[in-house]
Structure 1
């Protein structure tokens, strides 16, 4: 790689992607590039927003591998026998784990009631109360925040531990990743500060201790790249099978499609983003774990939230990946 090409890339990122905090590139299972901006370093941990969803997919896969879950088509209400279904509400009874993972579960809202959600004492019940309605099961409906906490609730039910603790034992620790704390927000100001922080290690929880499923996890750019590498390696890390290859293959093949955006979806993973045969975890702020198996490349980007932030996938496909394709490892 010519030094000038790299200088041009970094200059362009500084000028046009001012919210980006870090980029890590791995190729052929080796870290070959990392660069940080906005006062961040390799140890900085930022809120990765909806990238959290794909981490949750990993944990659901581990739960299946270990026998905590048995049937992808099991109705979600099976896990909440204490929940009282509203009168005349029948759709919710047929929503399955698969529907939750593929964003094909229906909800009664068009625009999420976010203020009520964030101030709720119980995000799982809040989500269950909005599940169902008149929309058909099987139609793609992307739930940005509200809804997926049902999956966190299910993981807690079957593993008898918190999602963060389950993740730390079975996913993070084998990869030398640490997510230290459960993070409770006492005010809107605390949550806003969390979104801007560079050094908080944790995962947001509701007052009942349930970790957010669609947001709320902090990781470093190196951490994200490791998780992408794990999937590229077929679930193996340092010779140990962390997640089954079968789950990885199943979760990164098409199960649903967002026709309006022309995007394919697996189990909480976006498919064919930027180019064919790739898959990615994507979140606000341009946070991305991008995996291109054909090129043996993993690229992670971490960034701070910025309204209308420029597309990190376009940055990867147009500028970053082509630059590193030429490197022989």
Structure 2
């Protein structure tokens, strides 16, 4: 028997266990179940995977959680559950959850002035922060600080190798009054990281580990790309497994509760996912921009990373990928792709309860398709950076 055939058989066994045998799930991970056991028709999910292969899309993981159970777990390129991924702007969404814990504990306030806090921890930046005294934490979290930063240079230092990102952010120029306009700029998550870290009395990544990652049983996580002063950005650099991304979606879905423990308050989850500076944007969470026909909130990362929360379906959808970035912030090709996948495949699977009957044929079809998917390579639709390589 060939080595490739052995690998495929082993892959099929592991995929079958992941989709149909809760007994084998790690204790710290979501319980697994077959789609039909929770009233989901697996056929549209098989069709989704077939479409991804047919169009040769570089979709590295695609997960569906229903009623708190992981019912669909698709990986490509030989990847496994324990690989983690650079999440890009989903780092912001985790930051918003950490901010909620700090607000709940009274360590942060949405109306606190950011500049005085930063000047206390960085007296050398007091002069640069002088024209930013009106900026409050809620402006930072809602992308409405009114600050301008020139992102035109190639290999912009704010992303690549800046020795002091906070200095770059502090020296930006106010363009409009805070709170008057939505402007998606990655200056804001730098201010967020520094401010929330100061409020927490520790680096933000350490606070998130202690209050989010460990209590939720996450593993293989890393918050990378800190500058020379040790400051991580709240806008990129976080690496999580797809299954841990799903846990974050489940946390939002359940109003901040995880396995009976209130990680962040229900009040904060409502506030975080309500419109602020734009009808489709809360505190780093997007609103009804993937599904327009029912309540939905989601996290979105550059090149095609998504956590989509569907409250009316009690469901969460996760994708990591390398899909095209052309088209603009809300209409990029990867956004159009996740809209299509959720609306044309996932929602029909969730809706079609009358046909959600487990049969040997349906189980065989799903297992076979996941086996084929596991070896699919896909064609990257976006330029790859070293950080885009999945890691164990």
TM-score, structure 1 normalization: 0.84
In 1, the alpha carbon distance for the partners of 2:110 and 2:45 equals: 45
d(CA) in 2 for partners of 1:66, 1:17: 47
Instruction: Between 313-322 and 106-115, report the one with greater CA deviation.
Output: 106-115
Ranges of 4+ aligned residues in structure 1 off by more than 4 Å: 1-4
User: Is the 2:59–2:322 Cα contact (8 Å) retained in structure 1?
Assistant: yes
Matches of 2:276 and 2:51, distance apart in 1: 36
> Which residue is 1:264 aligned to?
280
**Partner residue of 2:112?**
74
Once the two structures are TM-superposed, the CA of residue 211 in structure 1 deviates from its matched residue by 1.5
Aligned to 1:317: 343
| Equivalent residue number for residue 135 of structure 1 | 176
Displacement after TM superposition at 1:305 (Å): 5.8
| Alignment of 1:250 onto 2:271 | yes
Question: In structure 1, which of residues 22, 30, 44 is the aligned counterpart of residue 83 of structure 2?
Answer: 44
Residue pairs, 1:59-70, within 5 angstroms: 59-69=98-108
Match of 1:204 in 2: 225
Distance in 1, matches of 2:117 and 2:83, equals: 37
- Indicate which of 67, 83, 104 corresponds to 2:144: 104
* 2:193 paired residue among 138, 152, 163: 152
Q: Does the CA contact (< 8 Å) of 1:26 and 1:32 recur in 2? A: yes
Please state if 1:11 is matched with 2:50: yes
Normalised by the length of structure 2, the TM-score is: 0.71
Task: Give the distance between the partners of 1:168 and 1:86, measured in 2 at CA.
Answer: 31
Give the Å deviation of 1:38.
2.3
Asked if the contact 1:20/1:38 (under 8 Å) is kept, the reply is: no
Further displaced range: 223-232 or 34-43: 34-43
State the Cα distance separating 1:31 from its structure 2 match.
1.2
SS at match of 1:265: coil
Q: Structure 1, residues 89-134: CA drift from partner, whole Å, max 9, x if none?
A: 63x211111111111111223535552322321112211111x423
Indicate the larger mover: 98-107 or 75-84.
75-84
Local SS of the residue matching 1:46:
strand
Gaps (5+ residues) in structure 2? 1-39, 327-332, 358-392
* Structure 1 residue ranges without an equivalent (≥5): 181-200, 258-262
Cross-structure match for 2:18:
none
Query: In 1, are the aligned partners of 2:41 and 2:350 still within 8 Å (CA)?
Result: no
- Counterpart Cα distance in 2 of 1:285 and 1:321: 23
Equivalent-residue separation in structure 2 for 1:230 and 1:178 (angstroms): 16
Between the aligned partners of 1:207 and 1:307, the Cα distance in structure 2 is 29
Residue-by-residue CA offset, 1:130-186 (whole Å, 9 max, x unaligned): 1x423232211011x333111111122122222221111100111111355xxxxxx
Give the SS at the match of 1:148.
helix
Contact 2:189/2:235 (8 A) holds in 1: yes
Give the conservation status (yes or no) of the 8 Å contact 1:25–1:32. yes
Once the two structures are superposed, what CA deviation does each residue of 1:202-246 show, in whole Å capped at 9, x if it has no partner?
433111111111111111110101000011111111111100111
